[in-house]
Amino acid sequence: MQRVRPILNADDYPHDLATDEQRNQLARTFSRYEAHAKTWVGGYAGTPTVLSSWAQTFNVPRFGEILLDYADLVINELPWARDMKLRELAILTIYARQRCDFGYRAHLGPAAAAGITGEQIAELPVYRTSDAFGEEERDVIEFTHAALDGYVSDELFEKLRARYGEQQMVEMTVAVSFWALWGVLINTFQPDYVPA
């Protein structure tokens, strides 16, 4: 059961809007959500599940707007995150670790579209010894676990930096942190899961 009221449009907003600036902020946030969601690649745009999770953040319109900027950056602009398969492996790893069923289920479709197989999904908990993953995929999963644990070893960091370069190491870390933030929000607010 969802704990926070979803705000699906500006007319639904239940809190006081004391100034024209606050009302304009709310209108801008909804307008930007509609515009930005259409640009998101990877099976997210327009799905009811995505709106369901975003709608609760709109209780704080400025946060919703900042989160939209963050999403647009990660999904549309970061070269590392454009590799859909690696990105979705990281996302499924995050949501499995966070016990975020909503996020995990929501990303099964995009993961399949990115080429992640049923075998890989089933073997994600044993990725280190599974033949279902290549070396780069295992490294990304390992990095994601390490980042969530709060300790990325020098050895792992240098291995990945040698592969991606410094800028894409930052990009990968930003992407992992973005979906980890979503896991915290979703687990706390418990939006309704609406299948696409």
Instruction: State whether 101 and 174 are in the same domain.
Output: yes
Instruction: State whether 30 and 98 are in the same domain.
Output: no
Instruction: State whether 69 and 105 are in the same domain.
Output: no
Instruction: State whether 127 and 145 are in the same domain.
Output: yes
Tokens 């909804």: give the residue: 30
Number of folded domains that form the chain: 2
- The mean per-residue pLDDT over the stretch 150-174 comes to 98
- Domain end (from 26, 48, 73): 73
Q: What is the CATH number of the domain that holds 101?
A: 1.20.1290.10
Determine, yes or no, domain membership for 21.
yes
Which value, to the nearest 10 degrees, does the dihedral of the CA atoms of residues 128, 90, 196, 36 take? Answer: -170
Instruction: State whether 166 and 87 are in the same domain.
Output: yes
Instruction: State whether 147 and 180 are in the same domain.
Output: yes
Contact call for residues 179 and 38 (beta carbons, < 8 A):
no
Determine, yes or no, domain membership for 97.
yes
At 40 the pLDDT is 58
At 142 the pLDDT is 98
Determine, yes or no, domain membership for 3.
no
- Domain end (from 73, 88, 121): 73
Determine, yes or no, domain membership for 2.
no
Please compute, for residue 141, the number of CA atoms within 13 A of its CA located in the half-sphere on the CB side: 23
Instruction: State whether 26 and 97 are in the same domain.
Output: no
- pLDDT, tens only, 70-112: 988 998 899 999 999 999 999 999 999 999 999 999 899 889 9
**Rounded percentage of the chain residues whose pLDDT exceeds 70:** 90
50/93: higher pLDDT? 93
- Domain end (from 50, 73, 96): 73
Instruction: State whether 44 and 85 are in the same domain.
Output: no
Instruction: State whether 134 and 95 are in the same domain.
Output: yes
Per-residue b or e along 124-143, where b marks 16 or more CB atoms closer than 10 Å to that residue's CB: beebeebebbeeebbbbbbb
- Domain of 89 in residue numbering reads as 80-189
Instruction: State whether 109 and 156 are in the same domain.
Output: yes
Does pLDDT of 116 surpass 80? yes
Please compute, for residue 86, the number of CA atoms within 13 A of its CA located in the half-sphere on the CB side: 24
pTM above 0.75, yes or no: yes
Which value, to the nearest 10 degrees, does the dihedral of the CA atoms of residues 90, 96, 99, 102 take? Answer: 70
- The mean per-residue pLDDT over the stretch 8-22 comes to 78
3-state per-residue secondary structure call for 1-65: CCCCCCCCCHHHCCCCCCCHHHHHHHHHHHHHHHHHHCCCCCCCCCCHHHHHHHHHHCCCHHHHH
At 31 the pLDDT is 83
Query: Among 26-30, 102-106, 117-121, 184-188, which stretch is predicted with the lowest mean pLDDT?
Result: 26-30
At 10 the pLDDT is 76
Instruction: State whether 105 and 67 are in the same domain.
Output: no
